Amino acid sequence: MKMLNRREFVVMSAGVAALQAGAPLQQAFAMSSDGDKELTGLTLSEASKRIHAGSVTSTQLTQALLDRIKIYNPKVNAFITVMHAEALEQAAKLDAEAKARKFRSPLHGIPIVLKDNIDTAGTRTTAASEVFDDRIPEQDAEVVLRLKEAGAVILGKANMHEFASGGSSASTYFGPVRNPWALDHIPAGSSGGSAAAVISDLAYGALGTDTGGSVRMPAAYCSIVGLKPTYGLVSIRGIIPLTYSLDHCGPMTKTVEDAAMMLNHMTGYDKRDVASVDHPKEDYVASMKQPVSSIRLGIPRAPFYDLLDPETLKAIDAAIEVLSKLTKSTTECHLPSTAGFSALALGGEREAYHLELFRRNAQRYSLGVRQSLQTAQKTMDDVTSEPCSEKVVDYVTSNWQLILTRKSIDDAFTNFDLVALPTMRILPRTINDALNREEEIKQLEPEVISNCTPFNIFGLPAISIPCGFSASGLPIGLMIAGPRFSEGKVLALANAYEQATQWHTKRPALSPDMVVPPVTRKI
Catalytic residues: 115, 190, 214
Instruction: Please give the Cα distance from 150 to 114 (Å, whole number).
Output: 15
Of the candidates 285, 226, 232, the residue with the CA atom closest to the CA atom of residue 260? 285
Query: Which residues are CB-neighbours of 466 under 8 A, at least 6 positions away?
Result: 220, 223, 224, 225, 475, 476, 477, 478, 503, 504, 506
The answer to whether residues 141 and 182 touch, using CB atoms and an 8 Å cutoff, is no
Query: Which residues are CB-neighbours of 380 under 8 A, at least 6 positions away?
Result: 348, 351, 355, 388
Instruction: Please give the Cα distance from 283 to 469 (Å, whole number).
Output: 32
The DSSP line for 203-265 is -SEEEEEESSSTTHHHHHHHTSEEEE-STTSB--TTB--S-TTT-EEEEEESSHHHHHHHHTT
Of the candidates 477, 89, 122, 472, the residue with the CA atom closest to the CA atom of residue 312? 477
Instruction: Please give the Cα distance from 454 to 147 (Å, whole number).
Output: 28
Tell me if residue 227 falls in helix, strand or coil. strand
Give whole-number Cα distances, 252 to 77, 197, 247, 370, in Å.
Answer: 17, 10, 16, 29
Burial class (CB in 10 A: 0-12, 13-18, 19+), 378: exposed
Of the candidates 493, 482, 498, the residue with the CA atom closest to the CA atom of residue 294? 493
156 DSSP β-pair partners: 82, 113
Secondary structure (H, E, C), 317-359:
HHHHHHHHHHCCEEEECCCCCCCCCHHHHHCCHHHHHHHHHHH
The H-or-E segment that residue 90 falls in is: helix 84-99
Helical residues (DSSP H) of 178-309, grouped into ranges: 192-199, 216-222, 256-263, 284-288, 301-304
Tell me if residue 230 falls in helix, strand or coil. coil
Neighbours of 487 (CB within 10 A): 27
Helical residues (DSSP H) of 103-182, grouped into ranges: 142-149
Instruction: Please give the Cα distance from 517 to 105 (Å, whole number).
Output: 42
Instruction: Please give the Cα distance from 229 to 482 (Å, whole number).
Output: 10
Instruction: Please give the Cα distance from 247 to 294 (Å, whole number).
Output: 32
209 DSSP β-pair partners: 249
